[in-house]
Chain A
Amino acid sequence: MLAPRPLGGRIITPTFVIASTLALIAAAIVLYRLVFGLAAVTNLSDGYPWGIWIVADVMIGSAFGCAGYAVAILVYLFNRGEYHPLIRPALLASLFGYGLAGLAVIVDLGRWWQFYAMFVPWYMNPSSVMLETALCIAVYAMIICLEFAPAVLERFGLNRLNARLKRVMFAIVALGLLLPTMHQSSLGTILVILGHKLSPLWQTEWLPLLYLLSALLMGLGIVVFEAMISASGFRRPFEVEILGKLAGVTVVLLAAFLVVRIGDLAARGAFSLAFRPDVRSLMFWIELSLMSAPLVILGPPANRRRPQTLFLGAFVLLLGGIVYRVNSYLVGLTPATGNWHYFPTLAEIMVTLGLFSLEVVLFLLFVKLLPILPARHKAEEAGRT
């Protein structure tokens, strides 16, 4: 196995410029929001107090951030060393996924200047699912930084510190396995308290398990997706063999997700709601189709060896996970009273787009400057230098 090394190459590329511009636009909107308030830039209301900054940036962003979690489970829990080359890029996705989810939360908080209250022991409400989730995510963000630290330490030759860190790495890894299990399931539990306000198509006590499984699926999906994009973008060979194996694991997990999802709907007799002529039914079927399609796309082993089908399967799976989270947080919600509607403003969309663009910018910078992606074979390496 070849050690990871910095890619090198030009920093300023067209992708880098476009993504940076989008990130800067988002920063300007965020500044405007901080000065003029949430109503000035968002369509948030008392009927829909949470919009895409929470649902897209936190619920979906952190699920993308489960790349590191999903690969760490395979590498460290099941001791499948063959997935090891994937761990650093996966951790990088986690670092940005979670870091930017945290940033989005601060921007979205109505009283952001009192954010510290979350960490004041005598203010903490141990019954609050939100508190458990928030603290868990905050600690996990630090854990990802530590898991990722060797890449930075290696780059700057801080070998003694690196050696010291490696001695306790097993403990960091263990926490990195526990914490996402806790908070990704809690992101589902958060919805349980909505009770009758959430359509029975999504409201269930199985939400914690469904959210955990969907987080793992999206984490695995983003690993394949990102590896494919990196390979074509940086003109590196497709790591089809290892990604194919990963896709095999994904298929099994996806089958489990669908069994729980469909079994639960059937057991509660909620399926009848899916045949009403409304937007909710439509979104439900779109979600279910997107979540089922990867089973067909990635099911046949031959498809798991072809870059095109691998990419398609991962892409559709990510879309399915996105729609599941959007549906359960926004589409399925009926506010307690009043006639409310929510569709994000252009400004809200631009901030979300900007945050994801910032992830792209940072990813490009990191893989070029730090040892993250596995080195190419010696022959190619020689040809390059």
Chain B
Amino acid sequence: MSVSRRDFLRKAVEGGAAAAAAVASGGVPEAEAAGLQRPPRTLPPDAVGLLYDGTLCIGCKACVKACKDANGMPPDIHADQRGWNQGTWDSPQDLSAKTLNIIKLYTDGTMAVKDRETDGYAFSKRQCQHCTDPSCISACPVSAMTKDPSTGIVSHHPDRCIGCRYCVLSCPFGVPKFDFEDPFGRIHKCQLCNHRLAENKLPGCVDVCPTGATLFGRTADLEREAERRLTLKPGDRAVFPRGGLGGTPGGARPSHEKVVAAEYQQHIYGKSELGGTQCLMLSGVPFDKLNLPTNVPDYGYPTLTEGIQGAVYQSMVTPVVVLGGLLAIAHRNVKGSD
């Protein structure tokens, strides 16, 4: 690439101005800080993900077991059970280096009614959200986290991972986990069973879900399906698909008809949170009750960090210009001393 002297100087001035702006605009409200942000990423063309509908989930945890089988993960014995549970009962409490997918239970008061906030209970599913603008990818120094350019699936590559755990620290959903017990441990996270997708099979968790609470599909299709459900009222009869939306991969599964029992929260979780995620969620109870981050911006945090870095280090022009100045000053001042 050839850069004319004039271009170089122009860029240098722009870089310097951007750096000044970076310093000047820190800490101001989002709209004004926008100049400091890099533009948010958009969904890849064939982005795929999951739609989890907590109102359909019966809490059977077949998906938790199927995930372990599909990914060859060991049982996760809860600390309280280590005295008697020799591994016959997999009892994870949360995502961990041994558990890539989990069903969690929300309870309140008497727990009388499903999908009710007070005196009720509700299920929620956790796995990697496959963010549109993932923090883990931005954070990783050695590109060990990658996002498939077409499906958008976020995968981890232990062959180059240095184990710094910045992905663990940076993920807003607490998804990547490091195996601290193993001296040669690695990061574990849901990769949407991309090894099964390659064989034209559904992700483990979707494959076994008896009620279609977890659906696989293109994120755009999943969003349309979620929007349809948000129009349903308690008492309505509606048809709910199972497996993959549109019958792929692996052929169509029978759908089922059901009376809608709970009122949906009028929000699709993951549609806009932190720049959007490819996995979406519906619920009968407010999402903050499910321990999901709700009071968050609609852009990913990497837009901020990469914005700050980009403003200062854009094409390395600013550092080079500053170094030039320093060289001149140092050349004058270092002489005569050591």
Q: Which residues of A contact B (CB under 8 A)?
A: 34-40, 42, 44-47, 49-50, 75-77, 79, 81, 84, 109-112, 114-115, 117-118, 120, 123-125, 127-132, 134, 150, 166, 169-171, 173-175, 177-178, 181-182, 185-186, 189-190, 192-197, 204-209, 264, 267-268, 335-338
Q: Which of A40, A49, A134, A169 has the most CB of B within 10 A?
A: A49
CB atoms of B160 and A193 under 8 A apart: no
**In the complex, the 4 A-B pairs of residues with the closest C-beta atoms, listed nearest first:** A110-B163, A336-B174, A111-B163, A205-B26
CB-CB under 8 A for A267 and B27, given A117-B162, A125-B142, A171-B327? yes
CB-CB under 8 A for A206 and B26, given A112-B163, A189-B308? yes
Q: Mark the stretch among B193-201, B207-215, B329-337 that contacts chain A.
A: B329-337
Q: Which residues of B contact A (CB under 8 A)?
A: 22-23, 25-28, 33, 36, 94-97, 126, 135, 137-144, 158-166, 168-174, 177-178, 180-186, 274, 291, 293, 295-297, 301-302, 304-306, 308-309, 312-313, 319, 322-323, 326-327, 329-335, 337-338
9 new A-B pairs (CB below 8 Å) besides A37-B185, A205-B25? A49-B165, A49-B168, A130-B164, A169-B338, A178-B322, A194-B169, A205-B308, A208-B308, A267-B28
List A contacts of B309 (CB < 8 A). 127, 129, 132, 186, 189
CB atoms of B327 and A174 under 8 A apart: yes
Residue of chain A at shortest CB distance from B97: A46
User: CA–CA, A353 to B129, complex, Å?
Assistant: 40
Main secondary structure of the interface of A (DSSP, over half): helix
User: CA–CA, A192 to B329, complex, Å?
Assistant: 33
List B contacts of A37 (CB < 8 A). 180-185
Residue of chain B at shortest CB distance from A266: B27
CB atoms of A128 and B161 under 8 A apart: no
CB-CB under 8 A for A173 and B330, given A39-B180, A205-B27? yes
CB atoms of B327 and A193 under 8 A apart: no
CB-CB under 8 A for A178 and B304, given A111-B184, A112-B162? no
CB-CB under 8 A for A127 and B302, given A109-B162, A117-B160, A189-B308? yes
A8 to chain B: closest CB distance in Å? 21
One of A46, A205, A207, A337 near B33 (C-beta < 8 A): A205
List B contacts of A112 (CB < 8 A). 162-163
B98 to chain A: closest CB distance in Å? 11
A107 to chain B: closest CB distance in Å? 11
CB atoms of B293 and A123 under 8 A apart: no
User: CA–CA, A111 to B181, complex, Å?
Assistant: 13
CB atoms of B168 and A130 under 8 A apart: no
CB atoms of A38 and B162 under 8 A apart: no
List B contacts of A45 (CB < 8 A). 180
B275 to chain A: closest CB distance in Å? 11
User: CA–CA, A84 to B335, complex, Å?
Assistant: 13
One of A35, A132, A190 near B313 (C-beta < 8 A): A132
CB atoms of B168 and A46 under 8 A apart: yes
CB atoms of B329 and A110 under 8 A apart: no
List A contacts of B301 (CB < 8 A). 192-195
Residue of chain B at shortest CB distance from A270: B27
User: CA–CA, A170 to B306, complex, Å?
Assistant: 32
CB atoms of A193 and B338 under 8 A apart: no
One of A44, A50, A114 near B160 (C-beta < 8 A): A114
User: CA–CA, A115 to B161, complex, Å?
Assistant: 8
List A contacts of B26 (CB < 8 A). 204-209, 264
List A contacts of B305 (CB < 8 A). 129, 189, 192-193
User: CA–CA, A110 to B165, complex, Å?
Assistant: 8
User: CA–CA, A84 to B170, complex, Å?
Assistant: 42
